[in-house]
Structures are given as structure tokens and as C-alpha cells.
Amino acid sequence: MSTLARVPPHVLGGRWLAGVTSRPGQIQGHWRCGLPAPVQVSCRFDVVMVVGAALTRAVLDELNGSGQVIGPVLYDHDAETSSWLVPVRPGAAWQMPSTVLMTAPADGREPPLVSLPAPGVGRVGALEWLVQPDGSGTLTRHSDLAVALRRARPALKISSPRSQTCPAPARRPDPDPNRSVRRAR
């Protein structure tokens, strides 16, 4: 049995994430301090941000139910957004409601940064991996994510990007019980 087979997937995922930059030691330094690390998109992956806890759960359920491969997915409990790591597609158009594609700008400016916690450590601040990177380099395909978004949306009857049909994730009770009332207006 090879030594590699005994390394936990989250450790391999951390190595893979740190290796997407020219300074893996800097990424690992953030993680050793218990902080998320700023990682530039468009090196090995782009990010599709999906707005809403209910939509995120519905898309995960749709992809799991259809047997599609799911790459790393990060959830921000404060912003109620999920970040799906997808393959880099230079110049690709992405037009899906309640989502934003983070990729290298066409004008040559620096690509945006995303804050990524170390895999395997649980929640770091508001950030938590729903699907951890496992070191394989597996990413969610754009087409699979788009189909899952199209199928999930009607079931939720989303009328605006921020409307929610179900509460925030159960592990994080809302400290402001009036927040859902304000959002509905």
C-alpha cells in the first residue's frame, strides 16, 4: 500500500489548494494561524458564487441526486453565499440568476481573490467547506451546475436573489429573529 493512500483526503485537498499559487507557504502560513488564505481565481479554478442558503442546499441535493461529480463548495454563513470551484474557462459567459462568476477580467487586470479556509478544520469564522477539496483536483462542471440551478430554482419559487424560502443552516441559529421579516419586504 502506498504512503499516499494513508494521507487523509482533507490533507491532500489542502496541499492541492496551496499548490494553485506560486507561494504555497504563504497559504499554509495563513492556515497555521487559523485564518482563511487569499487565493487568486483563474489559476486552476474559477468560482461561481450562488446566493442563498436554500438555493445552495437545493443545488447540492440536485447534483447529489443526479449522480454528478461535485467539486469543492465553500459556504459563507454571514453572506449566505456558496462558492463553487469550477474549471477555468477564459472568456466564458455565465448568465444565471442569483449567481456571479469570479474569473480573470478580460482586460488583463488581476483576477479576484477568494478567502479559503484550510480543509478539514471545520468552520473558520463564517466560512465552512460543504464539500471539501480532496486533492484530486475535481471541480464541478459549469454545465452540471447550470442544470442543477435551473432545476432547483422553480422548486424554491425564488422571486429575488435574496429571498429565502427556508431558514439559514440549522447549525447557525439566527441571532436576529426579525431578519427574515426584513428580508421578506
> Exposed/middle/buried for 131, CB within 10 Å: 0-12, 13-18, 19+?
buried
Cell of 158: 425564488
What are the start-end ranges of the H helices in the chain? Answer: 9-18, 24-32, 53-65, 142-156, 179-184
Quickly tell me which residue has 499516499 as its cell.
4
pLDDT in tens, 22-58: 889 999 999 999 999 999 998 899 999 999 999 999 9
Cell of 116: 479559503
Taking the mean position of all CA atoms in its chain, how far away is CA 119? 12
pLDDT in tens, 51-109: 999 999 999 999 999 999 999 999 999 999 999 999 998 767 788 889 999 998 888 88
pLDDT over threshold 90, residue 183: no
- Rounded Cα–Cα distance for residues 54 and 167 (Å): 7
Question: pTM value?
Answer: 0.80
% of the chain exceeding 70 in pLDDT: 81
The length of the chain in residues reads 185
pLDDT in tens, 78-92: 999 999 999 998 767
Residue 150, CA distances (Å) to 6, 62, 104, 126, 145 in order? 39, 10, 25, 27, 9
- Rounded Cα–Cα distance for residues 56 and 136 (Å): 23
